[in-house]
Amino acid sequence: MSDKRVAITAPMANRAWCLPYWLGCLTTLDYPRELLSVHIIDDGSTDATPAILKAFRAKYGKTFAAVEIERQPWENPATSARDTQDRGDGYPRLAALRNMALEMAQASGAEYQLSIDADILVSPGLLRGLQAHGLPYVSSMIWNDIESDRNRVAVGVPIIGRYTNAGGLFQGRWQPMKRYELGKLYPCGYSGAVYLIDRATLDSGARFGGENPDPGKHCEDYSYCWALQLRDIPRSIDTTLRAVHLQIPQCLQEGLGVYYAWFRQLPPAVGVKR
């Protein structure tokens, strides 16, 4: 089977602290670069994010199929729950940004959309691993690196390994997966953070936010998975494939250490002067 075109998408705001490594992961994917297009929505970043993206496009714009950067004006960027004190504000904004990313992937003409949140580092083999299943929606496990008490991070308490980016319907309630094994493919109710969808799923009309009965109460990608369920599109998660979720700047160095321990290499820092 010949390789297919893939649109890599991400909304982001103020990710300069980890963006060079995120972009570096894209450059090391085991996949023909001319079949990869990169589509980024910069949601009003006020740090060095625009400059890093500009440098990336200048260096790699001709080796990837396309590098598209959409700049959105926004006075209070909120691309994840950690960027806002009010999830009621943060999740709807994130839903709008993710829908923009879906539309960018559609317009690219790609056969797949690979969505990777901008604070997540993926392995070189991730795309081929997800694609090999031939599923309409399949995600990678992510390694969440901090405990729920953010004050513990501030005082330097060591991070822990938790995999929590998938869940399902248990006893009538949507809950995170608590029992699973690494190295397996599981059906799930919802997942996200790092996922691959095929063209039929991309064109299904499923969108973030609109059809979910309570988008702010669950997780960032729950509403999209709910929309897929309404269309009888199955969701799966591959626990063979792992990615590092950095979450906040205090976790960068330790997260890089985990990445190296797993994959015996680090992604290059792209878009910054050495």
pLDDT of residue 108: 96
What percent of the residues of the chain are helix, what percent strand, and what percent coil, each to the nearest 5?
35, 25, 40
Rg (CA), the chain: 17
Per-residue pLDDT 10s for the chain (274 aa) are: 589 999 999 999 999 999 999 999 999 999 999 999 999 999 989 999 999 999 999 999 999 999 999 998 765 555 444 454 445 555 777 888 899 999 999 999 999 999 999 999 999 999 999 999 999 999 998 877 554 444 444 433 334 446 567 777 666 566 777 667 778 898 988 888 999 999 999 999 999 887 655 544 545 788 899 899 999 999 999 988 989 988 888 888 888 988 998 899 999 999 776 5
Considering the domain boundaries, does residue 271 fall inside one?
A: no
The Cα–Cα gap between 65 and 132 comes to: 22
The pLDDT of residue 142: 86
- Tell me whether residue 158 is in a domain: yes
CB-based contact 161:251 (threshold 8 Å): no
Which domain, by its residues, includes 140? 6-263
Its pTM surpasses 0.75: yes
Determine, yes or no, domain membership for 152.
Answer: yes
**What pLDDT does 150 receive?**
46
Q: Is residue 268 part of a domain?
A: no
Q: Please report whether residue 163 resides in a domain.
A: yes
Q: Give the relative orientation of helices 49-60 and 19-27 as an angle to the nearest 10 degrees.
A: 20
CB atoms within 10 A of CB 66: 15
Count up the domains in the chain and report the number. 1
- On whether residue 274 sits in a domain, the answer given is no
Q: Residue 196: inside a domain, yes or no?
A: yes
How far is the C-alpha of 184 from the C-alpha of 253, rounded, in Å? 29
Domain with residue 106: its CATH number is 3.90.550.10
Q: Which residues, including other chains, have CB under 8 Å from residue 73's CB and lie 6 or more apart?
A: 44
Strand pairing class (235-245; 185-188): antiparallel
Residue 236 maps to a domain: yes
Secondary structure letter of residue 42 according to DSSP: E
